[in-house]
Amino acid sequence: MFLNQLESGNKELFLKVCVLASLSNGVLAEQEKEMIQAYCREMDIAEHMPDCDNSIEEIVEKLAKSTTNTEKNIILLEILGMLKVDGSYDNYEKKFMENLAKGLQVKEGMLNKINILLDKYTAVYKEMYDTICE
């Protein structure tokens, strides 16, 4: 939704976090792979699965230093959306997101607020889709 607002240097780092987030529960779901490819298209970069040769801590530290508060919130929103796309948001994924928010130094409560708003958005989108398809 908002990935076009990321600075070009942060896009590859974002993709690396996406892959590591997807693997946080030990499963890279097909829907998550598709989302990563869609994210590439949205950011207007070549579709690919990035190599994750750095630790998540190193990647997040770089992002924390190179992103604005708005970019940090966008990263949280988009990765949370990707993790929820397969219909499951398990404890491993929740812990990953909590650690990501902490590592990015996002203000207290922002992850919870984004999570609530994303659930509302998803419900409204589904209702709209169901209405159109009646």
Say if residues 37 and 67 touch (Cβ distance below 8 Å): no
The structure tokens listed for 76 are 């949280």
Say if residues 44 and 3 touch (Cβ distance below 8 Å): no
Instruction: Give ∠ CA 21-73-124 in degrees, rounded to 5.
Output: 85
Instruction: Calculate mean pLDDT across residues 45-72.
Output: 93
Confidence of residue 29 (pLDDT cuts 50, 70, 90): confident
Say if residues 93 and 24 touch (Cβ distance below 8 Å): yes
- Decide if pLDDT at 53 tops 90: no
- Decide if pLDDT at 51 tops 90: no
**CA atoms of 78 and 10, how far apart (whole Å):** 14
pLDDT tens per residue, range 83-124: 998 888 999 999 999 999 999 999 999 999 999 999 999 999
DSSP 105: T
Domain holding 33, by residue range, is 3-132
Query: Helices 69-84 and 8-22 sit at what angle, rounded to 10 degrees?
Result: 30
The structure tokens listed for 106 are 């996002």
- Decide if pLDDT at 30 tops 90: no
Work out the number of other CB atoms within 10 angstroms of the CB of residue 10. Answer: 22
- Decide if pLDDT at 24 tops 90: no
- Provide the number of structural domains found in the chain: 1
Instruction: Give ∠ CA 120-3-128 in degrees, rounded to 5.
Output: 30
The structure tokens listed for 66 are 């190179």
CATH code, domain with 119:
1.10.3680.10
